[in-house]
Amino acid sequence: MIISLKKIILIVLIAFAAPLHAQQLTRILFVFDASNSMNGKWEGATKIEHARRIFSETINQLEGIPNLEVALRVYGHQSPITPTFQDCNDTKLEVPFGPNNFAAVKGFIQTVECKGTTPIARSLELSADDFPDANSRNIIILITDGLEACDEFPCESARKLKEKGINVTPFVVGLGIDLEYLKNFECIGRVYEANTLQSFENVMNSVIFDALMATSVQINLNDIHGKPTETNVTVFLYEAGTKNLKYTFMHTLNVKNNPDTIVVIDPKLKYDVVVNTLPKVEVKGISIIKGTHNIIPADCPQGKLQVRIKGPTKTENVNVRVMQNGQSVTLNVQSVNDLQNYIVGTYDLEILTLPRLYFDDVKINQSDFTYIDIPGSGILKYTASKAIVGQIFLVKEGQKDEWVCDIDPSKLTDQFYLQPGFYKLVYRIKSTVSTDYTATKPFQIMSGENTLINL
């Protein structure tokens, strides 16, 4: 079965060269468990003896595959474990990546002695530096017979690999590990159970085939010119026609400024893609073709909106309500001076100052900054000797007075942040029972200035 695997891979690589990345360099880093537990007996020999044979046969099948490099990191082989000591730094890149190092990888495994502990998380984290760059398809195959022994978290290490820009596809092969224990590795990548010698041989075939023939997906968030330049938004993949969320990704551009490649998507399902822009973009009924590189396009052209306060002001704590043009539903509320991306289009703004400011037909253009400038506020401070009821109005020449806000009758003093302009306060003492006691107090507000009224 192993002998036929190489033939199958080569045939498929030749037949489907372009979609299967035949022109892109693939690097496979084997992370090999040489801890003391590998000396344990398993089906008539030690685990390390079986692993040496099957691992060597696997490497033989990889020789001659185009655009492929391998490397070997080993842990647990340098420091013997004792009842009082375990060396959690016992992990080392023994054979670095290179074009013709298959013999070196096999040779090291044939002579390695199993001595120490099981620092899986440490090995995974350090493996980020084992890859020369992030431009190739980088794959990690972890072969282990035990769980993490150094109180670290493999899941955290897998996250750090991503943070370092190393786009890896981890595969975990568990030798004789109970399936329940193997679930601890599901956060790292694809897990394969090898609880018998025959299943170990079969699993290694499956892992190599899956690694080299992996289905991959690239989500293109296209700008107005159809180029995939948009990024840094969350993308949800739902099972098509349902609310069953299958995958969540923070969209990323790689070091070449192309959409990052995703290799963990199940090709058996159809998907509805939701891009969480403002407003959100949906692409429904997407099929993934197994064994190829799939591109999912989504038109997400964006520009930035910022509302700015120009000149002196008494407060910058102002919110802006954003709606799609002609719609009353609130799309977003952003703060003054914040930059926010929106899909290219036309929007209406309600700026929650006193009084409210309205801007209709605000254009958002591709990659442009749209600025809305408003004047800074001043402060009205009033003091009354007795409780009053009253309202503040904006006075505009030639127009009807515009209500701004009510006075709180339980307060003898209060303050309001108001936009510059001419106002009047209409009020009466709360305890009076006649409209004859109505009074009007005109005042002016200037940006950054205090206006004091004694009633």
Q: Is the pLDDT of residue 139 over 80?
A: yes
Which residues have a Cβ under 8 Å from the Cβ of 44 and sit 6 or more positions away?
none
In 3D space, the residue among 107, 25, 42 whose CA is nearest the CA of residue 74 turns out to be 107
> For residue 449, how far is the Cα from the chain centroid?
45
pLDDT tens-digit map of 402-424: 999 999 999 999 999 999 999 99
pLDDT of residue 5: 43
Predicted confidence at residue 66, as pLDDT, reads: 81
Fold match, 216-299 / 302-375 = yes
pLDDT at 267: 85
Min mean pLDDT across 7-21, 216-230, 257-271, 337-351 is at 7-21
Quick one: pLDDT band at residue 169, thresholds 50, 70, 90? Answer: low
How far is the C-alpha of 249 from the C-alpha of 280, rounded, in Å? 15
- Would you say residue 60 has pLDDT above 70? yes
Angle of helix 47-62 relative to helix 2-15, nearest 10 degrees, comes to 30
C-alpha span between 315 and 448 (Å, rounded): 9
Give the model confidence (pLDDT) of 307-319 as tens digits: 999 999 999 999 9
Residue 356: which pLDDT band, with cuts at 50, 70 and 90?
Answer: very high
**What are the structural domain ranges in the chain?**
2-212, 216-299, 302-375, 378-454
Higher model confidence: residue 252 or residue 292?
252
37 vs 181: CA distance, rounded Å: 16
- In the predicted structure, residue 156 carries a pLDDT above the cut 90: no
The least confident of 39-53, 184-198, 204-218 is: 184-198
- Contacting residues for 240 by C-beta, under 8 A, at least 6 apart: 269, 270, 271, 272, 284, 285, 286
Would you state the pLDDT for residue 2? 39
Sign of CA dihedral 236, 168, 59, 87: negative
| Reported confidence tier of residue 123, pLDDT bands at 50, 70, 90 | confident
- The mean-pLDDT minimum among 95-104, 193-202, 308-317 falls in 193-202
Query: Class of 302-375 per CATH?
Result: mainly beta
Q: How far is CA 437 from CA 390, 408, 453, in A?
A: 12, 18, 18
pLDDT, one tens digit per residue, over 368-383 is 999 999 999 999 999 9
Confidence label for 162 from pLDDT (cuts 50, 70 and 90): low
Provide the greatest CA pair distance for the chain: 108
Report the top-level CATH class of 378-454.
mainly beta
Structural contact between residues 186 and 264, judged by C-beta atoms closer than 8 angstroms: no
Give the model's pLDDT for residue 7: 43
Question: How far apart, in whole angstroms, are the C-alpha atoms of residue 52 and residue 54?
Answer: 6
Q: Are strands 168-175 and 137-144 parallel, antiparallel or unpaired?
A: parallel
CATH code of the domain occupying 2-212: 3.40.50.410
Look at residue 42 and tell me whether its pLDDT is greater than 50: yes
Give which of 334, 339, 305, 341 is closest to 320, Cα–Cα: 334
pLDDT, greater one: 91 or 25: 91
Please check the confidence at residue 20 and state whether its pLDDT lies above 50: no
pLDDT tens-digit readout, 215-268: 789 999 999 999 999 999 999 999 999 999 999 999 998 767 888 877 768 888
Q: What is the mean pLDDT of residues 283-308?
A: 92
At 445, the amino acid letter reads I
Range from 162-176, 222-236, 348-362, 381-395 carrying the lowest mean pLDDT? 162-176
Q: What is the pLDDT of residue 237?
A: 96
- Count of H-run helices and E-run strands, the chain: 7, 29
Contacts of 224 (CB under 8 A, 6+ apart): 301, 344, 366
* Mean per-residue pLDDT, 123-137: 82
Distance of CA 375 to the CA centre of its chain: 37
Task: Please report, rounded to a whole number, the percentage of residues in the chain having pLDDT higher than 70.
Answer: 85
Q: Is the pLDDT of residue 84 over 60?
A: yes
Tell me the C-alpha distance between 350 and 167, whole Å: 43
Per-residue pLDDT at 201 exceeds 80:
yes
What pLDDT score was predicted for residue 255? Answer: 62
The answer to whether the beta carbons of residues 147 and 188 sit under 8 Å apart is no
CATH number for region 216-299: 2.60.40
SS3 state of residue 109: helix
Q: What is the pLDDT of residues 418-441, one digit of tens each?
A: 999 999 999 999 999 899 999 999
Q: Which is higher by pLDDT, 212 or 1? A: 212
Distance CA 237, CA 288 (A): 12
